[in-house]
Amino acid sequence: MTTSRRELLRTMASLPLVGAVHATQSFGAAASRLSCEPIAGHFTHDTVRIWLQADDPVKAAIVFRPVAGGEGLGTRPVVLENKHACSAILEIDKLKPDTRYEYTVSLSGKTASENRYFRTAPAPSTSPADFRIYLGSCAYAEAMSPSGNPYGDEFHIFDTIAGKMQGDKLPHFMLWLGDNLYFRPKGKFLGEADYASVERMEARYREIRAKAMFQKLFAATHHYAIWDDHDYGPNDSDKTFALKADALRLFRQYWPNPDMGSADTPGTWTCFTHQDAEFFLLDDRFYRDNEKAPVDPAKAMFGPAQIEWLKRSLASSKATFKLVCNGSQLLSEDENGHQSGWHNYRTERESFLAWLAKEKIPGLLFLSGDRHNTQVFRLKQDGAPVVYEFSCSPFTSRLSKLSKKDRANPRFVAELGVEQRNFGTLEFAGRGADRKIVASCFDSNGKQLWQRTLASAKPGADGEPA
The CATH number of whichever domain residue 93 belongs to comes to 2.60.40.380
Quote the CA–CA distance of 40 and 243 in Å, as a whole number.
28
User: DSSP class of residue 74?
Assistant: E
The pLDDT confidence band at residue 2, using thresholds 50, 70 and 90, is very low
pLDDT at 31 over 80: no
Query: Is the sign of the CA dihedral 70, 258, 385, 405 positive or negative?
Result: positive
User: For residue 358, is it within any domain?
Assistant: yes
User: For residue 465, is it within any domain?
Assistant: no
Number of domains observed in the structure of the chain: 2
Quote the CA–CA distance of 236 and 228 in Å, as a whole number.
9
Q: Among 119, 140, 157, which residue terminates a domain?
A: 119
Q: Which of 175, 197, 194, 172 is nearest to 185 (CA)?
A: 194
User: For residue 462, is it within any domain?
Assistant: no
pLDDT at 19 over 50: no
CATH number, domain containing residue 405: 3.60.21.70
Q: Based on the domain organization, do 106 and 225 belong to the same domain?
A: no
Rounded average pLDDT over 386-395:
98
CB 405 within 8 A of CB 333: yes
Q: Based on the domain organization, do 241 and 347 belong to the same domain?
A: yes
Quote the CA–CA distance of 423 and 159 in Å, as a whole number.
12
Q: Among 96, 119, 142, which residue terminates a domain?
A: 119
Rounded average pLDDT over 44-58:
98
Residue ranges making up the domain that contains 266: 131-456
Rounded average pLDDT over 348-364:
97
Q: Based on the domain organization, do 239 and 378 belong to the same domain?
A: yes
The pLDDT confidence band at residue 32, using thresholds 50, 70 and 90, is confident
- The per-residue pLDDT for 219 is 98
User: In this predicted model, what pLDDT tens digit does every residue of 237-259 receive, in sequence order?
Assistant: 999 999 999 999 999 999 999 99
pLDDT at 174 over 80: yes
User: For residue 451, is it within any domain?
Assistant: yes
Q: Based on the domain organization, do 279 and 317 belong to the same domain?
A: yes
- When the pLDDT of each residue in the chain is averaged and rounded to a whole number, the result is 93
**Ramachandran angles phi, psi of 422, nearest 5°:** -160, 170
User: In this predicted model, what pLDDT tens digit does every residue of 261-288 receive, in sequence order?
Assistant: 999 999 999 999 999 999 999 999 999 9
Question: Residue 130 carries which side chain, given as an amino acid letter?
Answer: D
Q: Based on the domain organization, do 46 and 179 belong to the same domain?
A: no
User: In this predicted model, what pLDDT tens digit does every residue of 302-340 receive, in sequence order?
Assistant: 999 999 999 999 999 999 999 999 999 999 999 999 999
Q: Based on the domain organization, do 215 and 136 belong to the same domain?
A: yes
Longest CA–CA separation in the chain, Å? 68
Q: Based on the domain organization, do 168 and 307 belong to the same domain?
A: yes
User: For residue 466, is it within any domain?
Assistant: no
What Rg value do the Cα atoms of the chain yield, rounded?
22
Question: Residue 332 carries which side chain, given as an amino acid letter?
Answer: S
pLDDT at 24 over 50: no
User: In this predicted model, what pLDDT tens digit does every residue of 108-138 receive, in sequence order?
Assistant: 999 999 999 999 999 999 999 999 999 999 9
User: For residue 201, is it within any domain?
Assistant: yes
User: For residue 441, is it within any domain?
Assistant: yes
- Element containing residue 251 per DSSP (H, E): helix 244-254
pLDDT at 217 over 60: yes
User: For residue 464, is it within any domain?
Assistant: no
Q: How many CB atoms lie within 10 A of CB 411?
A: 16
Q: Based on the domain organization, do 100 and 170 belong to the same domain?
A: no
Question: Residue 348 carries which side chain, given as an amino acid letter?
Answer: E
Q: Based on the domain organization, do 166 and 111 belong to the same domain?
A: no
The pLDDT confidence band at residue 72, using thresholds 50, 70 and 90, is confident
**Ramachandran angles phi, psi of 345, nearest 5°:** -130, 60
Q: Among 98, 119, 140, which residue terminates a domain?
A: 119
- The per-residue pLDDT for 25 is 54
Quote the CA–CA distance of 208 and 314 in Å, as a whole number.
35
Quote the CA–CA distance of 202 and 194 in Å, as a whole number.
9
Q: Based on the domain organization, do 403 and 288 belong to the same domain?
A: yes
* Angle of the 244-254 helix axis to the 198-209 helix axis, nearest 10: 20
User: DSSP class of residue 294?
Assistant: P
Q: Based on the domain organization, do 288 and 401 belong to the same domain?
A: yes
Compute the residue count for the chain. Answer: 466
Q: Phi-psi bin for 402: left (phi > 0), alpha (psi -120 to 50), beta?
A: beta
pLDDT at 4 over 50: no
Q: Based on the domain organization, do 314 and 399 belong to the same domain?
A: yes
pTM of the full predicted structure? 0.94
CB 64 within 8 A of CB 93: no
In a 3-state reduction of DSSP, which class is residue 230?
A: helix
User: DSSP class of residue 54?
Assistant: B
Estimate the share of the chain in helix, then strand, then coil, as percent rounded to the nearest 5: 20, 25, 50
CB 464 within 8 A of CB 386: yes
